[in-house]
Amino acid sequence: MRKTAHLAVAGSLVLALGACSGGDGAAGDEASGEITYWLWDSNQLPAYQACAEDFAETGDVSVKIEQFAWDDYWTKLTASFVGGSGPDVFVDHLSKYGEFAAQGQVVALDEMIQADAFDTGVYADGLLEPWQYVDGSTYGLPKDWDTTAFFYNTEMLADAGLTAEDLWTADWNPQDGGTFEDVVARLTVDTNGVRGDEEGFDASSVAVYGMGINPNFEETGQMQWANFTGSLDWDYLDSNPWGTQYRFDDPQLQEAIDWFYGLADKGYAPSAGVFSDETPTQLGSGKVAMGTNGSWATGSFMELDGVDVGIAPGPVGPTGERASIFNGVADSISASSSKQAAAWEWVKYLGSSECQDVVAEHAVVFPAIPGSAENALAAFDEKGWDVSAFFSYEEEGRTFLAPITLHSGEVNAIASVALEDIYLGNTDASSLTAANDSINALLED
């Protein structure tokens, strides 16, 4: 049954991880002048521009914000580190920062936190701990948290004779897809108007796909298959964070991956190359009835022209739970910054309720501070956007971390090629065993 979201959830997303220890302090520069701040999400740019304007009035530091699309962002950031020209502060990601920390490209914040008696206890449980590196040093202050869910075209759902409750109560298994696949099949329509669960359906000529697939091939599966594999008795690593053995060779994971990409063979999902954009564009095209994405993308869906959108959580899996990656991004300071004192002032402000309350008003993400997250929920409610699906995993299932390891860039390079090969039909998921061996050899080196 569907439940109303409660922001108390944001204060109880507990992940049992390690404790914090001291790190390097900021350089002895003055907290003044202009600093640069990089982020990837264009939807969040107005909120952080507002924060930057408010921040500039509090002291002698001003902030120049630069925004790049996700893929370009990490390419430019890595190149800037190599060239010693990185931004002073940037939005960091759990799956990326370990590599930056290992290479000395980001600044440990512990001494600055201690010197200013900055209260890290203001954040929702489970958000700060993943930002503590293998040596215990802290490399980011939390800014928000997210889970993923399924955005659907409400008119298409009704035309199929389905209700929101059918999605909220759906179950899934990797053998036949459960009632979730039944829903996806029903939402699928060929060019003759025949639905995917009806006799005569033509999988080679589809007008509307029941479920879109994001063109994001990453080791996390966050934007594709993680809602399903998270509901198995399976996890990415032998331990997370900082595990040294991936588990892509697990037969049940491989069975689930074959099922997921196999939806395209059945005509229920688009084949490789049909769409180059993510699910907001796919739903907006009228050619896809439903697609997964993160809570951060809510506005992109709800503001689609001519499409009324609802949100449902992932289906309950074989473990009896629904599941989602629980991710929290943070702000980090570049080791190459010559203005680390000024950068720290900005990072503190970003991590404060002053800024997070401003972000909350824009109804784009759920801030890391529970009180600010409550304000965000009120802002979503005011817009008439029901975001309770993003809280349902804590209320009715589980949340879990994306894999956090060293060599994350190289791990992703291996995994993404292997996963895309499966989607392209060049191989099946048993090929992940060889990829897994390569990844584990890399981590053991």
Q: Which tens digits make up the pLDDT trace of 332-357?
A: 999 999 999 999 999 999 999 999 99
Nearest Cα residue to 345 out of 105, 115, 131: 115
What mean pLDDT do residues 170-192 have? Answer: 98
* Homologous superfamily of domain range 7-146+328-398: Periplasmic binding protein-like II (3.40.190.10)
**Which of the four pLDDT bands, split at 50, 70 and 90, describes residue 28?**
low
- The tokens of 185 are what? 């099949």
**Beta-ladder partners of 130:** none
Per-residue pLDDT at 395: 83
Q: What is the pLDDT of residues 317-328, one digit of tens each?
A: 999 999 999 999
> Range with the lowest mean pLDDT among 1-5, 300-304, 335-339?
1-5
* 385 within 8 A of 223, measured Cβ to Cβ: no
Rounded-to-integer distance, Cα 411 and Cα 428, Å: 19
Q: Measuring CA to CA, how many Å separate 263 from each of 212, 256, 419, 420?
A: 10, 11, 15, 14
Let me know if the fold of 7-146+328-398 is the same as that of 148-325+407-444: yes
Place of tokens 């500039």: 56
Q: What is the pLDDT of residues 111-128, one digit of tens each?
A: 999 999 999 999 999 999
**Which of the four pLDDT bands, split at 50, 70 and 90, describes residue 32?**
confident
**Which of the four pLDDT bands, split at 50, 70 and 90, describes residue 16?**
very low
* 213 within 8 A of 290, measured Cβ to Cβ: no
User: C-alpha 52: how far from its chain's center?
Assistant: 24
Per-residue pLDDT at 435: 98
* 153 membership: H or E segment, kind and range: strand 148-153
* 366 within 8 A of 8, measured Cβ to Cβ: no
SS (H, E, C) 1-67: CCCCCCHHHHHCCCCCCCCCCCCCCCCCCCCCEEEEEEECCHHHHHHHHHHHHHHHCCCCEEEEEEE
Q: What is the pLDDT of residues 208-232, one digit of tens each?
A: 999 999 999 999 999 999 999 999 9
What mean pLDDT do residues 91-106 have? Answer: 93
Place of tokens 């893929």: 71
What mean pLDDT do residues 355-378 have? Answer: 96
Per-residue pLDDT at 129: 95
**pLDDT higher than threshold 60 for residue 400:** yes
Domain ranges of the chain: 7-146+328-398, 148-325+407-444
CATH number for the segment(s) 148-325+407-444: 3.40.190.10
